[in-house]
Amino acid sequence: MVAKTDSGMKAKDIVDLILLAAVWGASFLFMRIGAPEFGPIALVQLRMLIAALFLLPILMLRVGWRELPGNWQPLTILGFCNSAIPFLLLSYSTLYVTAGFSSVINATAPLWGAVIAWMWLSERLPAVGVLGVLIGFAGVAVLAGDAQSLAQPGSTIAVIAAVGGAFFYGIGVNYARRFTRHLNSLSVATGSMLYPAILLAPFAVAWWPDTQPSLRGWMAIVAMGIASTGLAYILYFRLIANVGPAKAITVAYLIPVFAMLWGALLLGETVTGLMIIGCLIIFVGTALVSGLFRRYRTAADN
């Protein structure tokens, strides 16, 4: 018998959740390494192309490619909103701020998702949800005041870019719920990588770096495409199938922890006190918006 936690998640689901947070957190490390060598546009195109090439054989073996041609339009739009644009903005951000700092701001994505669902899909946002949104953005304000992390020129625009990336993730998750929920999840993951990668190819060629990227840079791109994008999608959709989207999205709380850990261990990045405080504030706000505290209280009462 497989052990379960008090939250109803099996032990293997907890392992998937931690592994997903680790590989998604590592994506900020890989962006930090790859963006200076490739530039944001080439980096994003290669990341999505490698992920698509990784996912295509799996798609063919499991469900086939029949859903891709007839749904290229919604999959392309989803790919740009949920991947290409946020990848681009976050890659630009990591040129000026640390991987951990950028990942903490990215943790506001569920907040943006709730606000956009309220404005676009007319989903009810209760008072505690409004409070959570305000608390979450207060955490971003705390980060914006971290002079030690924002010391170099261009870092303020980098913060705005990171917030923009989280905003587009919020658009993407709501677009997916409205226009692609009838499709197989693996088809959605593959198509949303493949079509934007094709459309971005001419821009990647036009903005290809003048200096040939190093082996280290290429290794970061390949690892980001396979592990932090392709494998991450498989883990994420498996979690959604096993425990539901509400529990799966709690991975957002763990990603900054791993991003700060990888940045500190492998790049020697500094984790400041304000980064930790801002991270905790954002976590509280996101937990209120997602109803995490309410679900845990209900589980405890039962």
Angle between helices 99-106 and 11-38 (to 10 degrees): 120
pLDDT at 62: 92
The answer on pLDDT for 77 being more than 80 is yes
Region 105-120: what's the mean pLDDT? Answer: 84
How far apart are alpha carbons 135 and 122 in whole angstroms? Answer: 22
153/69: higher pLDDT: 69
For residue range 146-157, list pLDDT tens digits in order: 655 555 667 888
Tens of pLDDT, residues 260-294: 889 888 888 888 888 888 888 888 877 777 666 65
Buried b / exposed e along 106-116 (16+ C-beta atoms within 10 A): bbbbbbbbbbb
| pLDDT range class, residue 198, cuts 50, 70, 90 | very high
Q: How confident is the model at residue 3 (pLDDT cuts 50, 70, 90)?
A: very low
Q: What percent of the chain has pLDDT over 70?
A: 87
Kindly report the pTM of this predicted structure.
Answer: 0.84
Tokens 């539901």 belong to 244
Residue among 101, 111, 127, 110 nearest 275 (CA): 101
> How many Å apart are CA 265 and CA 268, to the nearest integer?
6
Whether residue 1 has pLDDT greater than 60: no
pLDDT at residue 2, as a whole number: 41
Q: What whole-number distance in Å separates Cα of residue 83 and Cα of residue 75?
A: 11
